[in-house]
A and B are shown apart, each in its own frame.
Chain A
Amino acid sequence: MLGYFVKRTLQSLLTLFIVVTAVFLMLRLMPEEGYFEATAGVDRLTIEQQEAILRAMGLRDPIHVQLGNFYRNLFRGDLGTSIIFRPHVPITEIIAERIPFSATLGLAAISISLTVGIPLGAGMALYKGKMLDRIGTFFIVIMIAVPAVIYHLLIQLYVTDWLSLPMLFNERRPESWILPILSLSIAGIASYAMWMRRFMVDELNKDYVKLARAKGQKSQKIMMFHVFRNSFVPVVQFIPASILFTIAGSIFVESLYSIPGMGGLLVQVIQRQDNPLVQALVLIYTCLGVFGMLLGDIAMAIVDPRIKFAKKGGAR
């Protein structure tokens, strides 16, 4: 068990390293003009002046030196300073201001997806073929078939009007949280409900449920003691993927509602080529994604006693 955790953690660190390095290298391929836009028109600087600025930023060092410097600073907790977005402000400071917004949005969306999606799916399985199941299935099909961009826009466009909520996020109006969180959690609700329903229907038809009935257990107890937990286990493996989806969605939703979080910031700084800031944000998002996956796998191993044998291709 411990070996498994160690192995998975090392794998995650490797993934993290590869993604961050790849992003770092790709950013070096961007046109250099981008670095000057904020200060003064690039055409008003001589080539020599441009070179001097680039050298001062360390961009004329050989690429492996740049990479080495980046990682050395990273381990000291120094993410560098912003070049363009807010020149010379430490990136950690910029991000620290923004994390609360992103975290609120993300955590709220994830917990709402789980707390609504799982019971919805369970209810659909219990009343399979009945009204709840049909409405739920309709909802799930729509959510999966329609691209997220479209319903995010539709929600912003029509629901704000309909519920007379503000179109854009406003820190002083807590009700402006409602729609971003709704937009972000609705896809998660649909996918959790879909998986939960599916696995519960599977479990309900299994022999051990029949045996539990035959030994005189009450239906509700069978549901709680046997079926719910057993169907939740396979659902757990979809949680990491769904968290990734939520993270990706949050980038879009944050810019859509102008929430001053990291997602909106990432879109801005990529456009304005503030490389250190892009690197830092990508690093944070990658960490979230990779460790989300890792947590999902570890949760799986904890809830399913059979998992330790899966290595040998065995008992499942």
Chain B
Amino acid sequence: MTEYANTNKEVVLSIKDLVVKFSLRGRILKAIREISLDLYRGESLAIVGESGSGKSVFTKTFNGMLDSNGFIEQGSITYNGMDLTKFKKEKDWLQIRGGEIAMVFQDPMTSLNPLKTIGTQICEAILLHNKDVTPQQAKQKAVEYIADVGIEEPLRRSNQFPHEFSGGMRQRIVIAIAMACNPKILICDEPTTALDVTIQAQILGLLKDLKDKYNLTIVYITHDLGVVAAVADRVAVMYAGDIVEIGEVREVFYNAQHPYTWALLSSLPQLGVKGEKLFAIRGTPPNLFQEVRGDAFAPRNPNALKIDFVERPPYFPVPGSSTHKARTWLLDPRAPKVEPPSAIKAIGGDYNAL
């Protein structure tokens, strides 16, 4: 985790002031509210947040997979000198999808075409992104990719259909398909949510290995803080379409600054005390059909300051760190001292507990 800070931070993907809106039954919903984020080559970034916070929508803008009623209203997404927000036609996106930015989806049971052998499906990806490969060579490479994701007897397996694989195996195949595209950035949208716990660890381990082998940049979308602790270098905490806190995993976990991050960490069942009720964040996320004023989390924050309801906080760097920043007025020098909840302190030095 620390070595990444020492390597030269080359930005591969740069998002500036991104605003994404959806039109729903004549009303406009603002799903992403002015997010800026730089993604560095070779890092793995986890985006965490509750359902509906805009994690998936945010990453879908990277490869033009927004639903048809969604649109980017302002901001820019710079990749390789191109502004992806200017892309309109499918033809533009085809140079990004797969070959530059690939995706792994949540549910491996439905992510594969049930009527094609997995070999064929991997070949499809290989042939798409390597113009000078013959179908014969592609077949061979497909077998290599299957072996690469840790499946035994790859040659025999390549001629089988998805229904002959278990969930974990299928997720490996989905990952193999993504890798066969030879991407620079891999977006994993809740890659382990649909899998049972023992398989989760294997898949995460596999992704980590592949990241090192191919020098990938990986973006994880998850609501599982355990996943974050296991695989991520950096973590971005999203709430109501905005990144409220971002930093290296250690910084965010041990030295959380934003009240929402506190609440999120406190609600980890692992931190609960036996016999006591588990912590739950009260209230509901704001209605994004309306313009959010101030700090979006303020109405659910028992310690909210007055200004939280009036003005949106800017990012304040956390003292003593160049990588950690949070959007909370608590970091303003004028703010009163608010102690994080006791559960947060209990995390101590050992986040393996997560």
B290 to chain A, nearest CB (A): 29
The closest CB in chain B to the CB of A233 belongs to B115
The interface size of chain B toward A, counting residues with CB under 8 Å, comes to 29
Stretch at the interface among B1-9, B123-131, B149-157: B123-131
- In the complex, A315 has a CB within 8 A of chain B: yes
Least Cβ distance of B172 to chain A in Å?
Answer: 14
Q: Mark A181-208, 1 if CB is under 8 A from B, else 0.
A: 0000000000000000000000000111
Contact bitstring B99-110, A, C-beta under 8 A = 1, else 0: 100110101001
Could you tell me if B110 and A208 are in contact, using CB atoms closer than 8 angstroms? yes
Q: A210 interface residue, CB < 8 Å from B?
A: yes
Identify which of A19-27, A45-53, A222-230 touches chain B.
A222-230
**Complex formed: what's the CA distance from A207 to B189 in Å?**
12
Listed residue (A212, A225, A233) with the most chain B CB atoms within 10 angstroms of its CB: A212
| Cα-based distance from A213 to B101 in the complex (angstroms) | 12
Docked pose: A216 CA to B181 CA in angstroms? 8
Contacts A213-B65, A218-B94 given; does A305 touch B128 at CB 8 Å? no
Asked if A214 and B99 sit within 8 Å, CB to CB, the answer is no
Residues of B within 8 Å of A245, CB to CB, are none
Residue contact B178 to A215, C-beta cutoff 8 Å = yes
Nearest-neighbor residue (CB-CB) of B99 within chain A: A216
> A229 contacts B110, CB within 8 Å?
no
A230 touches B94 (CB 8 A): no
Most buried by A among B103, B110, B113: B113
Instruction: Check if B316 is an interface residue, CB within 8 A of chain A.
Output: no
Interface assignment of A306: CB less than 8 Å from any CB of chain B = yes
Chain B residue nearest in CB terms to A218? B94
Is A211 in contact with chain B by the CB < 8 A criterion?
Answer: yes
Chain B residues near A211 (CB-CB < 8 A): 103, 105, 111-112, 174, 177
Contact mask for chain B residues 220-234; partner A; CB cutoff 8 A; 1 contact, 0 none: 000000000000000
> What residues of chain A lie closer than 8 Å to B115, measured between beta carbons?
229-230, 233, 303-306
CB-CB < 8 A to A226: which residues of B? 113, 116
Smallest CB-CB separation from B181: which chain A residue?
A: A215
Closest Cβ–Cβ distance, residue A208 to chain B (whole Å): 5
Instruction: Report A217 CB to chain B, min CB distance, Å.
Output: 6
Chain B 177-201 interface 0/1 with A at a Cβ cutoff of 8 Å (1 = within): 1100100000000000000000000
Closest to A225 in B: B124
**Contact string, B155-186, partner A, CB cutoff 8 A, digits 1/0?**
00000010100000000001001100100000
Q: Which residue of A lies closest to B180 (CB)?
A: A215
How long is the Cα–Cα vector from A132 to B85 in the complex, in angstroms?
32
Q: Name the one of A210, A217, A303 contacting B128, with C-beta atoms under 8 angstroms.
A: A217
Cα of A211 to Cα of B116 in the assembled complex, Å: 14
Contacts of A213 in B (CB 8 A): 65, 97
A-B contact count (CB 8 A): 75
Q: How large is the interface on A (under 10, 10 to 19, 20 to 34, 35 or more residues)?
A: 20 to 34
Contact A217 B107 (CB under 8 A): no
Q: Indicate if B339 sits at the interface (CB-CB under 8 A).
A: no
From known contacts A225-B124, A305-B161, infer whether A216 and B111 are also in contact, taking CB-CB under 8 Å: no
- Nearest Cβ distance between residue A219 and chain B, in whole angstroms? 6
- How many Å lie between the Cα of A304 and that of B128 in the bound state? 25
Residues of B within 8 A of A225 (CB): 124
> With the chains together, A233 CA to B113 CA distance in Å?
13
Residue among B99, B112, B115 having the largest count of chain A Cβ atoms under 10 Å: B115
Which chain B residue shows the least CB distance to A208?
B113
Question: What's the least CB distance linking B122 to chain A, in Å?
Answer: 10
In contact, A219 and B90 (Cβ under 8 angstroms): yes
Q: Is B98 a contact partner of A214 (Cβ separation < 8 A)?
A: yes
Is the beta-carbon distance between A216 and B105 smaller than 8 angstroms?
no
Query: How far apart sit A315 and B163, CA to CA, in the bound complex (Å)?
Result: 6
Chain A 230-242, CB within 8 Å of chain B: the 1/0 string?
1001000000000
A5 within 8 A of B: no
Compute how far the CA of A178 lies from the CA of B47 in the bound complex, rounded to whole angstroms. Answer: 64
Q: How far is the CB of B147 from chain A (nearest CB, A)?
A: 20
Query: Do the beta carbons of A216 and B94 come within 8 Å of each other?
Result: yes
A226 vs B177: C-alpha distance when bound (angstroms): 15
* Cβ-defined contact, A210 with B178, below 8 A: no
* Complex A-B, nearest 10 residue pairs according to Cβ-Cβ distance, in ascending order: A216-B98, A216-B97, A214-B103, A315-B163, A207-B110, A215-B98, A208-B113, A207-B111, A305-B161, A215-B125
Residues of A with Cβ closer than 8 Å to B?
A: 206-208, 210-219, 225-226, 229-230, 233, 303-306, 309, 315
- Cross-chain pairs A/B with CB under 8 angstroms, 13 sampled: A207-B110, A208-B114, A211-B112, A213-B65, A214-B63, A215-B97, A215-B103, A215-B125, A215-B181, A216-B98, A218-B94, A219-B90, A306-B163
